[in-house]
Amino acid sequence: MAAAEVLTKVAQAAAALGVVGSLAQASLYTVDGGERAVLFDRFRGVLEETQPEGMHILVPWLQYPTIFDIRTRPRSISSVTGTKDLQMVNITLRVLSKPDQDKLPEIYKNLGTDYDERVLPSIGNEVLKAVVAQYNAVELLTMRDHVSKKVAEQLVMRAKDFNIQLDDVALTHLSFGDEFSRAIETKQVAQQEAERSKFVVERTSQEKKAAVIRAEGESEAARLISEATKVAGPGMIELRRIEAAREIAQSLARSRNVAYLPSQANMLLGLNTQGGGNGR
């Protein structure tokens, strides 16, 4: 009997400890690093105070926590929209976002834990369409940094209305339709042809100017020679002929492939040119 009573008491104590342990475990929850918790009370609703990192106490069954990740997360938003000159453009936006820690209870009540899925694609497309419609296709290419800054400014302002903070916004992809690409290619070819034609015209003009200058130089040289001949007589022409002959002779003397032959002497020196004699 004593043993049975002891076993009964041990079982009761174990059961009590189990209940206490279960209640203690249900009354505690942990918030990890980079997270915040929002408590929901069955009588008061969502509590306005956000719970920081660490271990916290709640009332079992009456309260339960919802954990939010407050670290910055990347997201890509794609949109196909029209430009000012009615060209269709495929544009992709990269956004780094996180929730406002002080507004987590409001975010939970209005949007839920998937707030970024609900809000960012909608306001991203809205801002992209509004900004891109202010520029034509060429301006989007040449003023890409300016367009990106304008999109970032407007998107940050819209995200604040939903208690979302944006750390960075940037355009990562920008492409146009096939028709616009063909138009750009045609325009580039036309510009190259225009530049080539311009070069041909300028070269022809320069050649004409060079011909005129050369003709004027030759005419002036002929006039000077004519005047010098009138003053010095034929002696000047003879002097020019001698100078030219001396230059030719000097050029030939420096050449190894030139042989000099006497104009009258017989080259076959020492040979008997008559058929008889010492034939034997």
At residue 271, the pLDDT reads 47
Question: Is 11 or 98 the better-scoring residue by pLDDT?
Answer: 98
At residue 9, the pLDDT reads 66
Question: Percent of the chain, pLDDT > 90?
Answer: 44
At residue 261, the pLDDT reads 57
Note whether 104 and 46 are within 8 A (CB): no
Question: Percent of the chain, pLDDT > 70?
Answer: 79
Note whether 75 and 116 are within 8 A (CB): yes
Distances 256 to 84, 197, 245, 250 between C-alpha atoms, Å = 78, 49, 19, 12
Whether 278 shows a pLDDT value over 50: the answer reads no
Question: Is 251 or 236 the better-scoring residue by pLDDT?
Answer: 251
Burial class of residue 219 in the structure, from the number of CB atoms within 10 Å of its CB (0-12 exposed, 13-18 middle, 19+ buried): exposed
- Give the type of residue at 53: E
Which of these, 57, 43, 91, 98, lies nearest to 75 by C-alpha position?
98
Whether 202 shows a pLDDT value over 80: the answer reads yes
Instruction: Report the alpha-carbon distance of residue 234 to residue 246 in Å, rounded.
Output: 19
Whether 51 shows a pLDDT value over 90: the answer reads yes
Question: Is 252 or 242 the better-scoring residue by pLDDT?
Answer: 242
Whether 279 shows a pLDDT value over 50: the answer reads no
At residue 19, the pLDDT reads 57
pLDDT (mean) for 77-105: 92
Least confidently predicted of 73-87, 186-200, 245-259 = 245-259
What's 103's DSSP letter?
G
At residue 149, the pLDDT reads 94
Instruction: Report the alpha-carbon distance of residue 67 to residue 38 in Å, rounded.
Output: 7
Whether 91 shows a pLDDT value over 90: the answer reads yes
Phi/psi at 234 (5° precision): -65, -10
Strand 88-99 versus strand 54-57 pairing type: unpaired
At residue 165, the pLDDT reads 95
Distances 8 to 17, 18, 20, 80, 83 between C-alpha atoms, Å = 14, 15, 18, 75, 83
Which of these, 165, 44, 141, lies nearest to 85 by C-alpha position?
141
Enumerate residues 6+ apart whose C-beta is below 8 A from 27: 57, 58, 59, 60
pLDDT (mean) for 237-245: 76
Confidence of residue 207 (pLDDT cuts 50, 70, 90): confident
Whether 29 shows a pLDDT value over 50: the answer reads yes
Q: What is the pLDDT of residues 253-273, one digit of tens each?
A: 777 666 655 555 554 444 454
Question: Is 184 or 212 the better-scoring residue by pLDDT?
Answer: 212
pLDDT (mean) for 67-78: 94
Instruction: Report the alpha-carbon distance of residue 112 to residue 90 in Å, rounded.
Output: 31
Phi/psi at 58 (5° precision): -140, 170
Which of these, 32, 111, 97, lies nearest to 67 by C-alpha position?
32
Question: Is 222 or 68 the better-scoring residue by pLDDT?
Answer: 68
Whether 7 shows a pLDDT value over 70: the answer reads no
Note whether 129 and 151 are within 8 A (CB): no
Whether 134 shows a pLDDT value over 90: the answer reads yes
At residue 112, the pLDDT reads 93
273: which 2 tokens? 């040119």
Give the angle subtended at the CA of 106 by the CAs of 102 and 107, to the nearest 5°. 90
At residue 276, the pLDDT reads 45
At residue 190, the pLDDT reads 78
